Amino acid sequence: MNLGQWGEIMSWLCLLPISGGIVYNLLTVFTTSLFLARSLPKQDFQPGVSVLKPVRGLEKNLEANLRTIAQQNYPAYEVIYCVQDPQDPALPIVKKLQAEFGPEKIIVAVHQIEQGANGKVNNLLGGLKHAKYDILVISDSDTNLRPDYLATMVSPLGDRLVGCVTTPFKLTQAQTWYEGLELLSINADFMPSVLFAEVTGASKACLGPSIAIRRSTLTEIGGLESLADYLVEDFELGQRVWTGGLKMVLLPYVIDAGVNLDNWTNWWSHQLYWDQNTYLARPLPFLATIIIRAVPFAFLFTFCHWSEPWAWLILFITLATRYGTAAIVAQELKDGETIRYLPLLLLRDCFGLVFWALSFSQRQVLWRGITYRLTKGGKMIPASPIPKS
């Protein structure tokens, strides 16, 4: 068999991810609708709550976002803003909020802890020292929360068999083309896949921007300290809860999180290390995503058969399905920003295949100026000894 014949066979194999992707995209419309149609639990379990808010640097709308957790319709809770660097430019903002709402409600925890490579976990460990309640809510600094957030998050923990509660999220506040691509990666690709897996029972998700867990459960799975070397600590936390025999609850309650990238290289590195870690954590499911990447393979198939009208028809059907289903899912999620950035969706999907391929060859990530090597399971190990300051 000559090279031309091999090329012909390979071009026809493109029909597998094209058809798989079309079917999958159509299914995400139904699974998203089914998930959002679920009822929220009754808010009749309202114990005291300690909210841990890791803060680092001046993000977009930081003060407005941080303020939302201090304005909850909830009877007894404390907010712990966790800061590592005493010179962090965000520190005056959290101290301002503390002065406004009072030190009984707002605690500013400044601790320089280096338990492991993950800066977020190091930050949370400092705040955990001050938490007085057994119920913990971990909430990212870039989330903008509605007043019923805490009551909604905590209520499922009234069932002792529930180990962890989390919520879907959508990115907002994109201002550049690379932030738009990041937004589409989450809102039009990642979140529909999470809801698809939840509804079909394929897997359970623990999503880092918003987690509720008992301190006792956290201790049983090894504590925050044991997560300090994982690149994606929320995934590892969820796996431990799930394999420990407790329930994972993904609420039909979507929160907003701001996207904040300094330049396009931040977007590139973030997309790459996300795929790297996903591959190392779940190699077979990640490998299988090749069969649903319809858009890049539709372009490749049309290029190989450009003189055939039916090849262009296949491309049209693929693009119409991708655009149409993404728009419907965005409407279900009340996500106007995804609609605004839809023209970039084809570029995002094509780059997605590039990152997928690169994730098999690269095992290093740059994290806060230090190069780490990724190991099986998603841990980060310094590629070379870290100089002592």
- pLDDT exceeds 50 at position 389: no
Helix (H, G, I), strand (E, B), or coil: what is residue 38?
Answer: coil
| 268 in any annotated domain | no
Which pairing describes strands 255-258 and 143-144: parallel, antiparallel, or unpaired?
antiparallel
**Confidence at 78, pLDDT banded by 50, 70, 90:** very high
Choose the final residue of a domain: 231, 262, 293: 262
Work out the mean pLDDT of the chain and round it to a whole number: 89
Domain contains 120: yes
Examine residue 389 and state whether it is found in any structural domain, yes or no. Answer: no
Judgement on whether residues 175 and 140 belong to the same structural domain of the protein: yes
Q: Say how many C-beta atoms besides its own lie within 10 A of residue 154's C-beta.
A: 23
The Cα 69–Cα 67 span in angstroms is 6
129-176, pLDDT tens digit by residue?
999 999 999 999 999 999 999 999 999 999 999 999 999 999 999 999
Asked if 133 and 68 sit in the same domain, the reply is yes
Residue 145: other Cβ atoms inside 10 A: 24
Q: Are residues 105 and 177 in the same domain?
A: yes
Same structural domain, 63 and 25? no
CATH of the domain at 257: 3.90.550.10
DSSP assignment letter at 42:
P
Same domain, 153 and 20: no
Beta bridge partners of 53: 81
Same domain, 279 and 245: no
**85 and 224 share a domain?**
yes
Residues 118 and 183 in one domain: yes
Would you mind telling me the total number of residues written for the chain in this entry? 389
Q: What domain range is 114 assigned to? A: 49-262
Q: Do 68 and 214 have their domain in common? A: yes
On whether residue 330 sits in a domain, the answer given is yes
- 279 and 147 within one domain: no
Radius of gyration of the chain from its Cα atoms, rounded to whole angstroms: 22
In a domain, 267, yes or no: no
Domain for residue 225, yes or no? yes
pLDDT tens for each residue of 32-73: 999 999 999 888 899 999 999 999 999 989 999 999 999 999
pLDDT tens-place string over residues 192-240: 999 999 999 888 888 889 999 999 999 999 999 999 888 788 888 998 9
Is residue 235 in a domain?
yes
Overall number of domains in the chain:
2
- 3-state SS string over 314-328? HHHHHHHHHHHHHHH
| pTM score | 0.90
3 token code pair: 């090279």
Q: Which two tokens stand for residue 260?
A: 């904040």
The answer as to whether 174 is a domain residue is yes
Please give the angle made by the CA atoms of 278, 153 and 34, to the nearest 5 degrees. 65
- Does the pLDDT value for residue 387 go beyond 60? no
Q: What pLDDT, on the 0 to 100 scale, is given for residue 126?
A: 93
Residue 10's pLDDT band (boundaries 50, 70, 90)? low
One domain for residues 66 and 20:
no
With bands split at pLDDT 50, 70 and 90, how would you rate the model's confidence at 385? low
HEC assignment per residue over 5-61:
HHHHHHHHHCHHHHHHHHHHHHHHHHHHHHHHCCCCCCCCCCCCEEEEEECCCCCCC
Q: Give the pLDDT confidence score for residue 273 in this predicted structure.
A: 77
Residues 281 and 166 in one domain: no
